[in-house]
Amino acid sequence: MKTPRPVLALIAVALVIAACGGEATSPTPVETPLSSAAVAPSDSPVSAAAAECDGLVDLDLDAVTAITAELVTSGTQNDLPEFCRVAVTVDPAINIEVWLPTDTYNDRFQAIGGGGYAGSISYDGMAEALRNGYATASTDTGHAGEEFDGSFALAADGTSDMALIEDFASRSLIELTDVSRALVDAFYGEVADYSYWNGCSTGGRQGLALAQRLPEGYDGILAGAPAINWDRFIPALLWPQIVMDEELGRAIGGCKLAAATAAAVDACDGIDGVSDRVVDDPRQCDFDPGSLVGADTPCGEFTDADAAVIQAIWDGPRTADGDFLWYGLARGTPLVALADSEPFPIGLDHHRLWVKQDPSFDWHTLGYAGFEDAFRTSQELFHDVIATDDPDLAPFRDAGGKLLMWHGWYDEIIFPEGSIDYYERVVETLGDPGNVAEFARLFMVPGVYHCGGGPGPAEFDAFGALVEWVETGRKPDTIAASGIGASGEAFTRPLCAYPSVATYDGAGDPQQAASFNCTSD
């Protein structure tokens, strides 16, 4: 096992690292589950490790304005092993934490992604990585706030703060990678044998941003439900509200949304050969909500306008001429997350603060034409900085990286066909599906919600599959998954690499993965 190098060697390393612009000061405290952690006193048996840890503050790191380090021997999460906790601030306000295990290090590094608009360190993910022996890191991406709060993007003068948006979109991720690499090298005497990115939602987008902008940064990237296509999918979050306001003048009743979802599942459940209350590939489902018109529900009679609203939510945003803008929710997905009485916060903040740059903006004034204009404006303003949809992954491939993407078909926040769209554009750009499959694979997961949960096979180890791929070369054609069905019975199922889907063989036990084959028919 690698051990920390002496303090004098740490100082020597500092001489060959680019100096920062000024004297370091203590970083701004951040909320942490380790606030009551015990730090080793100078006369304790672990004082040598504490000295090694403390020595990290002597490193000069480019653009770093503050750095602290302490040896944590216990904490409120008492199952954490001993580790050196390093807190770094990169100019102007990118907070990064790097945790370096002392005795349990597995010679690997795992960075943890954030969610929503970020605004905080992903401590829970870091703790899990630490328990598994990884050196680990996370960043607040350059601003402090709740994950649904997009106000950081609006400067005091009422214009977009493009510097903070860029920090959020990509610069913080590159700084995290560079800072972590330097600290791992200094503490253990050499860089990690393997480096991984692990993220879902915004964390998935962050992983793809690194594959596109820092292709040599990671050996393996796990990108779950990635929030790519940001400039289009984020404004599309408001589409259900626009449709309901235009067609009904109010929100549609929740029981009508549930009735439409249940009817779509009834109609399309058996397409994969087994009835399990999950539509495995919703693109094959063409259920028409118009067939429900006249049906009685606890919310009243199902009307033509109700059917039009639900069809529009499934179709996704369209122009006044009916041209495609972006994808909609897949049939079978719970609709209430986006078709609630109030808009989804991230989509609302994007329109108010990012596009209109007006905190008092009333989305009710948009209508169809205003929505289309706002959608186009979002593309014009933010595509280059945060779309994260560059399909040319040749540099990442050539650097030896492996990318594993996954997306739940019942994702109620990030439209799953956006991930398919991106993967297919990667294939088109590089010109050969077989070549792409050598370094990048996508798994569409039936019946799974945003980043997990749902009636489908929601339990699976995508990160483990990525590590095995990187370190042994074994390509993940399938990933073993399990779940609890609508009847409460446990089942297993293979997840198939896109474009294949799991199809029942018609003979075996439908609760067992062995009864399914991956087919691309």
Query: How many CB atoms within 10 Å of residue 377?
Result: 16
**Sequence-distant (≥ 6) Cβ neighbours of residue 92 within 8 angstroms:** 65, 142, 163
Average pLDDT over residues 77-106: 94
Q: How far apart are CA 360 and CA 353, in angstroms?
A: 9
pTM reported for the whole predicted model: 0.91
The percentage of the chain sitting over the pLDDT mark of 90, rounded to a whole number, equals: 85
Q: How far apart are CA 309 and CA 339, in angstroms?
A: 10
Mean pLDDT of the chain: 91
Residue 96 CA, distance from chain mean position: 18
When pLDDT is cut at 50, 70 and 90, the band that residue 32 belongs to is low
pLDDT digits (tens, 9 = 90+) for 274-287: 989 999 999 999 99
For residue 230, pLDDT beyond 90:
yes
Q: Tell me, what's the pLDDT at 28?
A: 39
Closest CA to 198 of 278, 135, 152, 248: 135
Q: How far apart are CA 177 and CA 111, in angstroms?
A: 8
Among 122, 138, 195, 201, the one annotated catalytic: 201
For residue 88, pLDDT beyond 90:
yes
Q: Tell me, what's the pLDDT at 487?
A: 80
pLDDT digits (tens, 9 = 90+) for 414-461: 999 999 999 999 999 999 899 999 999 999 999 999 999 999 999 999
For residue 49, pLDDT beyond 90:
no
* Helix, strand, coil content of the chain in percent (nearest 5): 40, 20, 45
Query: How many CB atoms within 10 Å of residue 159?
Result: 9
DSSP string across 350-366: IIIIIIS--TT--GGG-
Q: Tell me, what's the pLDDT at 520?
A: 86
pLDDT digits (tens, 9 = 90+) for 286-312: 999 999 999 999 999 999 999 999 999
Q: How far apart are CA 477 and CA 232, in angstroms?
A: 31
DSSP string across 274-327: S-SS--S-GGG----GGGGTT-EETTEE--HHHHHHHHHHHH--B-TT--B-S-
Average pLDDT over residues 236-265: 97
For residue 1, pLDDT beyond 50:
no
Burial classification of residue 38, based on how many CB atoms lie within 10 Å of its CB (0-12 exposed, 13-18 middle, 19 or more buried): middle
Closest CA to 98 of 48, 134, 61: 134
Residue 407 catalytic? no
Q: How far apart are CA 518 and CA 158, in angstroms?
A: 52
Number of H helices, E strands in the chain: 16, 17
Residue 411 catalytic? yes
Q: How far apart are CA 426 and CA 393, in angstroms?
A: 7
For residue 5, pLDDT beyond 50:
no
Q: Tell me, what's the pLDDT at 485?
A: 84
- Angle value at C-alpha 128, between 85 and 440, nearest 5 degrees: 110
Q: Tell me, what's the pLDDT at 110?
A: 98
Q: Tell me, what's the pLDDT at 50?
A: 83
Of 36-45, 338-347, 392-401, 490-499, give the lowest mean pLDDT range: 36-45
Q: Using DSSP bridges, classify how beta strands 135-139 and 108-112 pair: parallel, antiparallel or unpaired.
A: parallel
Specify the amino acid at residue 438. Answer: E
Q: What is the token pair recorded at 315?
A: 């179709």
Q: Tell me, what's the pLDDT at 171?
A: 98
Q: Tell me, what's the pLDDT at 299?
A: 92
**What are the boundaries of each domain within the chain?**
7-192, 234-384, 394-519
For residue 77, pLDDT beyond 60:
no
For residue 217, pLDDT beyond 90:
yes
For residue 237, pLDDT beyond 80:
yes
Residue written as token pair 């199809």: 503
pLDDT digits (tens, 9 = 90+) for 370-406: 999 999 999 999 999 999 999 999 999 999 999 999 9
Q: Tell me, what's the pLDDT at 33?
A: 55
How many Cα atoms occupy the beta-carbon half-sphere of 28 within 13 Å?
Answer: 14
Contact, 152 vs 161, CB < 8 A?
Answer: yes
Query: How many CB atoms within 10 Å of residue 129?
Result: 25
Q: How far apart are CA 161 and CA 144, in angstroms?
A: 15
Residue written as token pair 């840890």: 53
Q: What is the token pair recorded at 22?
A: 């000024």
Average pLDDT over residues 96-120: 97
For the chain, the first-to-last Cα distance in angstroms comes to 48
Q: Tell me, what's the pLDDT at 11?
A: 27
Residue written as token pair 């209109």: 356
Residue 281 CA, distance from chain mean position: 22
pLDDT digits (tens, 9 = 90+) for 155-188: 999 999 999 999 999 999 999 999 999 999 999 9
Among 120, 450, 500, 515, the one annotated catalytic: 450
For residue 10, pLDDT beyond 90:
no
Q: Which H or E element spans position 87?
A: strand 83-90
Query: How many CB atoms within 10 Å of residue 365?
Result: 9
Q: Tell me, what's the pLDDT at 39?
A: 52
Among 269, 272, 306, 411, the one annotated catalytic: 411
Q: Tell me, what's the pLDDT at 521?
A: 67
Q: Where are the beta strands (DSSP E) in 450-500?
A: 459-460, 478-484, 490-496
Q: Tell me, what's the pLDDT at 100?
A: 97
For residue 47, pLDDT beyond 70:
no
